[in-house]
Amino acid sequence: MSEEKKVKRKKIEATAAMNKYMTDYFYELDSASKTGYKKIAWCTSVGPSELLLSMGFLVYYPENHGALLGTSRLATDVIPAANALGYSPDICSYLTADIGAYVQGVTPLSKAFEGIESVPKPDVLIFNTNQCRDVKDWFAWYSKELNVPLLGVHTHRNPTDVTDTIIPSIAKQIEELVEPLEKISGNKFDMEKLKKVVALSRECSELWKKVLETAASRPSPLTFFDGTIHMGPAVVLRGTQQAVDYYKILLKELEERVINHEGAVEDEQHRIYWDGMPVWGRLRPHSELFANLKACVLASTYCNSWIFTDFDPEDPFTSMAKAYTELFIVRSDKTKEKYMQRMIELFKIDGIIYHDAKTCPNNSNNRYGMPQRLEQKTGIPSLTINGDLNDLRLISDEQTKTNIEAFIEQLEENKK
C-alpha cells in the first residue's frame, strides 16, 4: 500500500497530563541528585520498587532510560562505546545503549528537560533477575564504576506453576533487603508505609489493566504503540498517587471512545497482537504502516507486563514475590501459550506479529516453535519480524514493510 494514502490515527488527549507527571518525576530525581535531599535507588523495571518507595527512596529505572535512548534514536550511536568495554553487540541493547551513553556523557533527558545534564546519581542499585541475567550484569558495571552498593533478588526462571516452594524464597530475599536499605537510607522500615505503597501499586495495576482491556472493544480505542508510551507511569510511578490519578484520566477518555465507537485507527479491519519488544526507534513508522493497512495492533505481551494482580497490601512481601514471579517473561512456554490463547480470545485477534529482537532472547518468544504450536491450536496465523528494540543496525525497514504488507494481504484473503 502506498504511503501517500494516510489513514487517520486518533491522538490521545490525556498525553498532556502524562507528560506533566513524567516531567515532574524527572525533575524531582534531578533535584535530589544535585542536592542529596533524598536518596536515589536505581531499580530494574520489575524489581521491588514498593519497598524502596516505602523506605523514602526516589526510584529511577535504567531500562526506561534505555527505551528513551531508543525512541530518541541515540542508542545506535552509543552502543559501540559499550562494545569497546567488552559488552557484546549481541547482548541486551538497553544495557549497551545505557552504558555507552554514560561513557560518552550523553542522555536524551538533557534534550527533553532543560537543565537536566545527566541521569540521577544512585545511592544503591537493586535488581531482580526475574526478567534476565543482563540486568544484574548491567547494574554490576555501575556498582563498580560509581562505587555504589549492589543488592538484588534472584528469581527461579521458567516455572510452569509459581508454587509455594518458589514464593517463600523470593519473599525472603526481598525481606533481607530491608536491613541494608535501612543503613543506606537512614530510615527505619515501616510496615504500614509499605502496605500503603503496595495498595497504590495494586490500584495502578488494576487501572492499567482496565486501560489495556478497552482494546477488546471493536473498534479498539487504543493501539499497542499508544500503550508503549502510556505505560510510562505504570513503570516509573507505580506505588504513587500520581500513577493512580493519571490512569483514571486515561481510562475515562478511552471508555468514552468505546461508548462513541471511536477507533484508534480509522476503519479498523484487522486486529493484531504484538508479541515481544517494540522497536523503540520505529514506533511512529510502524504505527503508520499498520494504520495505513487498516490494521490495528491493539494488544501485546509487553504492555501487559506491568499488570500485577497479585499485590496484596495485607501481605506485602509474599504478594510482591508472587506478583514479580507470576510475570509472563519468567514462565515456561506452556504457561505462555495458555496466556496467549486467552489474549487471542479476549481481544478477538486475527493475526500475531512476533518481534524477534536480536539482543533480547528473553522477550522473543518465536524461537522454540511457539508460533507454530499456537497456530495449530488456534488457527490464528502469525508473522515473525526480525529486528531489535534499540540497535537500528539490526533492522531492515524495507524487509519489515514488505513482510507486514504481505501478512495483512493474507489476512484479507482469509476473510473472503
- Shortest distance in whole angstroms from residue 85 CB to ligand SF4: 17
Checking 363-366 for CB contacts under 8 A at 24+ apart, the result is 363/276, 363/277, 363/301, 363/302, 363/329, 363/389, 364/276, 364/277, 365/275, 365/276, 365/301, 365/333, 365/336, 366/275, 366/276
Whether a cis peptide bond, with omega within 30° of 0, leads into 149 is no
- Shortest distance in whole angstroms from residue 306 CB to ligand SF4: 13
Q: How many CB atoms lie within 10 A of CB 16?
A: 9
Query: For residues 263 and 278, which CB has a smaller minimum distance to ligand SF4 in the complex?
Result: 278
Query: For residues 21 and 94, which CB has a smaller minimum distance to ligand SF4 in the complex?
Result: 94
d(CA 71, CA 108): 9
- Shortest distance in whole angstroms from residue 279 CB to ligand SF4: 12
Name the residues that contact ligand SF4, by CB under 6 A.
63, 92, 94, 131-132, 134-135, 360, 362-363, 389
- Shortest distance in whole angstroms from residue 363 CB to ligand SF4: 5
Strand spans (E) along 108-238:
124-128, 150-153
Query: For residues 174 and 360, which CB has a smaller minimum distance to ligand SF4 in the complex?
Result: 360
Q: How many CB atoms lie within 10 A of CB 147?
A: 7
Q: How far is CA 163 from CA 90, 170, 226, 292, 309, in A?
A: 33, 11, 35, 45, 16
- Shortest distance in whole angstroms from residue 94 CB to ligand SF4: 4
Query: For residues 63 and 350, which CB has a smaller minimum distance to ligand SF4 in the complex?
Result: 63
- Shortest distance in whole angstroms from residue 61 CB to ligand SF4: 11
Query: For residues 44 and 220, which CB has a smaller minimum distance to ligand SF4 in the complex?
Result: 44
In 214-239, which residue ranges form alpha helices assigned H by DSSP? 224-230, 232-236
b (16+ CB within 10 A) / e for 53-71? bbbbbbbbbbbbbbbbbbb
Which grid cell is 219? 473498534
- Shortest distance in whole angstroms from residue 131 CB to ligand SF4: 4
Residues 6 or more apart in contact with residue 346 via CB below 8 angstroms: 213, 216, 299
Query: For residues 99 and 212, which CB has a smaller minimum distance to ligand SF4 in the complex?
Result: 99
Residues 6 or more apart in contact with residue 369 via CB below 8 angstroms: none
CB 388 within 8 A of CB 359: yes
3-state DSSP assignment of residue 73: coil
Query: For residues 250 and 329, which CB has a smaller minimum distance to ligand SF4 in the complex?
Result: 329
- Shortest distance in whole angstroms from residue 334 CB to ligand SF4: 20
Query: For residues 63 and 123, which CB has a smaller minimum distance to ligand SF4 in the complex?
Result: 63
